[in-house]
């Protein structure tokens, strides 16, 4: 069935290292992808997005890569900080307004 | 510019009672979306509303759930005769213009049904 999924449920990263969070999607009709960060007890916070006509987009300390051939999305966080500890969700949108979320990857930053 | 506001942040109800969740979108946003998040899971789409109109409620349970976004005031998600399975975090998001814009989320309402 169609789904958005994350490869690993948890990721432990040393402070200062780079983090890579992966996401697989199955619907080739998806045209827009978003990464959200959710801290405990809070709502999802927009991090970065990318449209299907792009394969890379950079923000402040974050980069999103899109590989449509294998339906893979990744979020790279440079120089991971303690404040980056959270659950990260990828979401896809399929030519309308509904966002479909994966289950999330919990990132823990070790001091 | 205040973000999306939701209240209450925490709501406890006994089985059979009604739950009303409120969402005030960001200033200038006229599109509201409601999502539900069960523990350890991602968010699931419930309903999309514009002012005075329900655009898509395909993610809403057919019974007991309703949503509105009146001309004045916040959007309301109403759950009648709550059951334990309704316990979840309910998030509201808003966008400025078309439904295809980036959605910005509120802090959520955590509903606990005893």
State which residue of chain A sits closest to B101, comparing Cα positions.
A97
* A37 touches B: beta carbon within 8 Å: no
Report the percent of chain A where pLDDT is more than 90.
Answer: 68
Residues of chain A neighbouring B32 (CB-CB closer than 8 A):
none
Number of separate helices (H) and strands (E) present in chain B: 0, 11
Res. A2 pLDDT band, cuts 50 70 90: very low
Question: Is pLDDT at A3 greater than 60 in this prediction?
Answer: no
Residue B99 confidence (pLDDT):
58
Residue B74 confidence (pLDDT):
96
> Does residue A106 contact residue B42 with C-beta atoms inside 8 Å?
no
Q: What angle do CA B104, B40, B68 make, to 5 degrees?
A: 40
Classify strands A56-58 and A62-67 as parallel, antiparallel or unpaired.
antiparallel
d(CA A19, CA A63): 10
* A40 touches B: beta carbon within 8 Å: no
SS3 B84: helix
Neighbours of B10 (CB within 10 A): 12
Which 8-state DSSP code applies to residue B102? P
**What does the pLDDT profile of chain B (114 residues) look like in tens digits?**
579 999 999 999 999 999 999 999 999 898 999 999 988 788 999 999 998 899 999 999 999 999 999 999 999 999 999 999 999 999 999 998 765 678 899 999 999 999
């Amino acid at each position: 069935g169609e789904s958005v999924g994350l490869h690993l449920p948890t990721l432990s990263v040393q402070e200062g290292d780079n983090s890579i969070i992966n996401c697989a999607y199955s619907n080739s009709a998806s045209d827009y992808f978003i990464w959200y960060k959710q801290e405990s007890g809070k709502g999802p916070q927009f991090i970065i997005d990318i449209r299907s006509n792009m394969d890379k987009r950079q923000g402040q300390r974050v980069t999103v890569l899109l590989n449509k051939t294998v339906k893979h999305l990744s979020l790279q966080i440079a120089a991971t900080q303690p404040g980056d500890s959270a659950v990260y969700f990828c979401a896809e949108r399929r030519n309308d307004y509904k966002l479909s979320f994966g289950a999330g990857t919990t990132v823990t930053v070790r001091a | 510019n205040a973000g999306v506001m939701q209240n209450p942040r925490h709501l406890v109800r006994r089985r059979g009672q009604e739950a009303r969740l409120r969402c005030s979108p960001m200033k200038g946003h006229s599109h509201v979306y409601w999502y539900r998040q069960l523990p350890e899971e991602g968010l699931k789409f419930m309903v999309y509303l514009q002012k005075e109109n329900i655009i898509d409620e395909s993610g809403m349970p057919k019974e007991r759930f309703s949503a509105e976004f009146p001309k004045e005031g916040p959007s309301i998600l109403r759950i009648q005769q709550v059951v334990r399975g309704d316990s979840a975090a309910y998030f509201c998001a808003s966008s400025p213009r078309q439904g295809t814009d980036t959605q910005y989320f509120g802090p959520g309402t955590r509903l606990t049904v005893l």
